[in-house]
A and B are shown apart, each in its own frame.
Chain A
Amino acid sequence: MSNTTPGAQQPLLAPPAARPSGPRTAARSHAQTVRGLLIKIALLGIVDAIALFAMFILVMREEWLVFAIAAVVTVIINVIYLRPGWLPAKYLAPGVFFLAVFQIFVVGYSGYIAFTNYGDGHNSTKEDAIESIIANSLTRVPDSPTYRLTVVEQFGTYGFLVTDPDGDTLLGTPEQPLEEVDAEEDSTGKAVSVAGWTSLGFGDLLANQSIVVDLSVPLSDDPNDGALRTPDGSSAYVYTSDLVYDETADTFTDTTGGEVYVDGGDGSFVNEAGRELQPGWKIDVGFENFQRAFTNEDIRGPLLSVTLWTFAFAILSVASTFVLGLFLAIVFNAPHMRGKKIYRVIMVLPYAFPGFLSALVFLGLFNEQFGFFNQVLLGGASIPWLTDPWLAKFSILFVNLWLGFPYMFLICTGALQSIPEELSEAATVDGAKPFAVFRLIKFPLLLVSVAPLLISSFAFNFNNFNLIYMLTGGGPRDIEAGVDAGATDILITLVYKVAFGEGTGRDYGLASAFAILIFLIVATVSIISFRQTKALEELN
């Protein structure tokens, strides 16, 4: 390294030693090409085998859409790697494949949720909902006796052989109400078998359990007497249901009051009074969630102040961590400095511990009465670090600086390696002052390579839910003003409160709609910033 004499204006390009060392014969090159080809074919073969297997299963399951996508993707991959040329695609395909499946799809799916009512109470399909309503409406008749039960089977029909509390033995099937029969009893007086029917042991019960638990044997011809059902296969109880589902009309009827619940079009059964049966199911609702997002009072009220703080928080976080990280990267880039390895490692510590743990530690340090800052550092002062609106903002930024500077330190250390020394040397020889060299030459170069990361870091902090949530929960809240937003609430935490904390619980549909809106904001800001970076890049 030391052979570069000061001031030597070495050309930027082509350090000679970077050439492949040693003479290279055509034969060797050819052999390597063949090896490369073999590797390529082997890898492609594996990919194709996996793809074919997946497609085979998809055909079996009649998942035609997914099958078509899989087939197209497979063909594209093969074409990319078999056809000469298309070099960019060859390099990009592996990463883009993972990106498409695990990120773009996920974003797309979240976007789709914005157009549904998915959330608590609207969690699954209509069939599931109907099944649940029926199951939950079945109630055991109060104080009714327990029937000891043997489940029996005859030509594929299942029946209940029960011993009633009086010791009588009865047999019935879902179609045939209970009737008295003569049956064989065990020593405890429980009927265990009856002629013509096969008794089911526990193993048989388990093998057919979905049928058994659905069996409902009427007590008599009058359905109001209820029916026997068994939860465990060895005892039966009398159940009645106060909700009857009519499949053709798609309605539930309350047998006690005669009220009818119809599919109200909002993903639930409702009666005329507007009472909903739980659970409902998931349906598409169009732009309703976006409408709600724009009209929600809890968002609109504090929107301005929260948006301002969100931007301030994100920008200040990026700026502070970057400045500190860059400064440290420069400081510890000294070749003759002893122990810089140790310093560097210690500085990565905040990054090496789980974030929630650090937040909890700081929560303790900031405690107004018992925390280290007040009690030890400030000799018993009572500074409300987390409960004063402005101090809480400061504390959040402070903690974020602590959490975030190692990242910036790492990327700046990495990026500094890419700046050619010759440039600044040339400038120094021309008589430029050190700071000017840094500011005019190194810093712009550095900025070109790290600017996208700063923008990305801005986007991350814009949605830095965890930090705010764990440290202040968005608070302190001005409880007298009657708004839900606290002094440190950023958009994403406010959205969380509104979409997950109100009404019926977690409303994924509304949350997704907000997520899309926030995404649009962040993306716009980022694209504008990129324009600036681009200008910067072309400048150099």
Chain B
Amino acid sequence: MKVTSRSFTITGALAMSAIVLAGCTAPAGEPGEGSEEPQFEGSLTVWVDADRAGVLEDAAAAFEDERGVSVELVTKDFGAIRDEFITQAPTGNGPDIIVGAHDGLGKLVQNGVVSPLELGDKASEFQDVAVAAMSYEGQTYGLPYSVENIALVRNVDIAPEAPETFDDLIAAGQAAVAEGAAEYPFLVGLDPAAADPYHLYPLQASFGAPVFEITADGTYDPTTLALGNEGGEAFAVKLREWGQAGILNTNISGDIAREEFVAGKSGYFLTGPWNLPAIKEAGINYAIDPIPSAGGETATPFVGVQGFYISSESENQLAANEFLVNYVGTDEVQTALYEVGGRAPALLSAFEAAQSDADVAAFGAVGAEGVPMPNVPAMDVVWSDWGSTEVAIINGQGDPVELWRAMVESIQSKITG
């Protein structure tokens, strides 16, 4: 125990000396207003995930060099940033800038923690869908850097031709299974408890059933569900059919789907660019196709956009704005971000350049048809009911149309609260 008490004393002594030091430096920290050379003393704090942090280091260094403002990059878990930021911003201790996916924007605005970002003339230099995604109720809030969506990845050795419709795909896939060329007619990663409404959405959209009604100005109206229209019910019936035919299988998780496709066990895999590295590495001879329509209309995937937001509590609004618009919104940084994350850049010039990569071009072409994933706060409610209902339908419980209707009712009642 002696050791412990000694270390306690040492800790105490350290704490004391640290306090004394702090006491000495505190007055010096006051910014000298009206002095000869007004020197900005603050620094920008940016919350980013590990991959992004590496890229931003260069931009941060350049910013410090040219603008005299240091940028502190704080690495956080990407998924945790939004909620932690909402908690921390009101205390005044939050960061100046955060990275985030666009579907969390509604929640950020609802909590009043992000400030609008005027892209100025730069707005036209970004993909339209990216800027639209970074907007909420007519106001732009973020600087987008990447756009991503799913598409149909095809194993050319098993399925030499791109299917016209989803029925064609099923026919071709089942033929391949019958011949023994494949083990699964079609692969998509689902969850045994929550299916995956995100991955199944293009098929649903091809029946003309988006999540919310889309208003005249092209944004979602979060109060009016469109899930429950006739198209939605037709989709529900089809889900049951596909589930029984073994086209959709909730036991095949995302990891399993990838593993099986990489092992050459299926001709089709509905997935995003994040799985391409594994597919390439396995030497699969693949092609990227538009998602075939199941219900007649275009099968539009959700487009996910990632970007940077400025805190409404930031004391450094101007510096933050300058950093984002003129240092992160550049060709170099956007290209570098694309290179590390594999997601297509949001900046048009960088996007054009990235087109030289056939995969990016192919995914980009599919994404051009897509709509941004809804960024209204109500989406949190939608996902859970949506997913568990899809599971029940695919696995043959109850009547698909009735389940679908019950789901719409449940979501509606939760949204109106």
- Asked if B296 is at the interface of the complex by the 8 Å CB criterion, the answer is no
Report the interface size for chain A: residues with CB under 8 A from the other chain.
65
CB within 8 A of B109: which of A39, A129, A278? A278
Min Cβ gap A297→B in Å is 10
Chain A residues with Cβ below 8 Å from B388 are 475, 477, 479
Q: Is the CB of B398 within 8 A of A43?
A: no
CA distance A368 to B67 in the complex (A): 58
Chain B residues with Cβ below 8 Å from A140 are 118
Chain A residues with Cβ below 8 Å from B65 are none
- Asked if A501 is at the interface of the complex by the 8 Å CB criterion, the answer is yes
Interface centre among A47, A210, A212 (most CB of B within 10 A): A210
Query: Which residues of A (120-152) have their CB < 8 Å from a CB of B?
Result: 120-121, 123-125, 128-129, 131-133, 135-136, 138-140, 146
Chain A residues with Cβ below 8 Å from B19 are 49-50, 53
Min Cβ gap A312→B in Å is 21
Chain A residues with Cβ below 8 Å from B256 are 367, 370
- Asked if A186 is at the interface of the complex by the 8 Å CB criterion, the answer is no
Q: Is the CB of A203 within 8 A of B403?
A: no
Min Cβ gap B117→A in Å is 7
Closest to A235 in B: B120
Chain B residues with Cβ below 8 Å from A501 are 380-381, 384, 414
- Asked if B272 is at the interface of the complex by the 8 Å CB criterion, the answer is no
Min Cβ gap A394→B in Å is 16
Chain B residues with Cβ below 8 Å from A504 are 110, 377, 417
- Asked if A472 is at the interface of the complex by the 8 Å CB criterion, the answer is yes
Query: Which residues of A (186-239) have their CB < 8 Å from a CB of B?
Result: 202-210, 212-213, 231-233, 235, 237
- Asked if A62 is at the interface of the complex by the 8 Å CB criterion, the answer is no
CA distance A472 to B31 in the complex (A): 54
Q: Is the CB of B417 within 8 A of A502?
A: yes
- Asked if A174 is at the interface of the complex by the 8 Å CB criterion, the answer is no
CB within 8 A of B417: which of A207, A476, A503? A503
Query: Which residues of A (46-101) have their CB < 8 Å from a CB of B?
Result: 46-47, 49-50, 53
Q: Is the CB of B193 within 8 A of A473?
A: yes
CB within 8 A of A43: which of B12, B138, B192? B12
Q: Is the CB of B251 within 8 A of A123?
A: no
Chain B residues with Cβ below 8 Å from A331 are none
Q: Is the CB of A231 within 8 A of B317?
A: yes
With A120-B377, A207-B33: A482-B406 Cβ-Cβ less than 8 Å? yes
CA distance A429 to B398 in the complex (A): 68
With A123-B86, A129-B112, A139-B138: A206-B69 Cβ-Cβ less than 8 Å? yes
Q: Is the CB of B192 within 8 A of A386?
A: yes
Q: Is the CB of B68 within 8 A of A237?
A: no
Q: What bracket does the count of chain B residues touching chain A fall in?
A: 35 or more
Q: Is the CB of A123 within 8 A of B90?
A: yes
Q: Is the CB of A480 within 8 A of B16?
A: no
- Asked if B37 is at the interface of the complex by the 8 Å CB criterion, the answer is yes
Min Cβ gap B338→A in Å is 25
Chain A residues with Cβ below 8 Å from B326 are 232
CA distance A355 to B24 in the complex (A): 45
Q: Is the CB of A386 within 8 A of B112?
A: no
Interface centre among A231, A370, A473 (most CB of B within 10 A): A231
- Asked if B271 is at the interface of the complex by the 8 Å CB criterion, the answer is no
Closest to B8 in A: A43
Min Cβ gap A240→B in Å is 12
- Asked if B175 is at the interface of the complex by the 8 Å CB criterion, the answer is no
Chain B residues with Cβ below 8 Å from A125 are 90
- Asked if B107 is at the interface of the complex by the 8 Å CB criterion, the answer is yes
Chain A residues with Cβ below 8 Å from B118 are 140, 231, 237
Q: Could you show 26 A-B contacts with beta carbons less than 8 Å apart?
A: A49-B16, A50-B12, A120-B111, A123-B90, A128-B312, A132-B312, A140-B118, A209-B315, A209-B318, A209-B319, A231-B120, A232-B318, A279-B110, A369-B251, A472-B193, A475-B193, A479-B397, A479-B403, A484-B410, A501-B381, A501-B384, A501-B414, A503-B415, A503-B417, A504-B377, A505-B377
**Could you tell me which B residues sit within 8 Å of A by CB distance?**
5, 8-9, 12-13, 15-16, 19, 23, 31, 33, 37-40, 42, 67-69, 83, 86, 89-90, 107, 109-113, 115-118, 120-121, 137-139, 192-194, 249, 251-253, 255-256, 312-313, 315-319, 321-322, 325-326, 377, 380-381, 384, 388-389, 391-392, 395, 397-398, 403, 406, 410, 414-415, 417
**Could you tell me which A residues sit within 8 Å of B by CB distance?**
39, 42-43, 46-47, 49-50, 53, 120-121, 123-125, 128-129, 131-133, 135-136, 138-140, 146, 202-210, 212-213, 231-233, 235, 237, 278-279, 364, 367-370, 386-387, 472-473, 475-477, 479-480, 482, 484, 497, 501-506
Listed from nearest, the 4 A-B pairs whose CB atoms lie closest are A132-B112, A279-B112, A124-B90, A503-B417
Known: A136-B109, A479-B406, A501-B384. 10 other contacts (CB 8 A): A43-B9, A120-B377, A136-B112, A231-B120, A369-B252, A386-B192, A475-B388, A477-B392, A484-B410, A504-B417
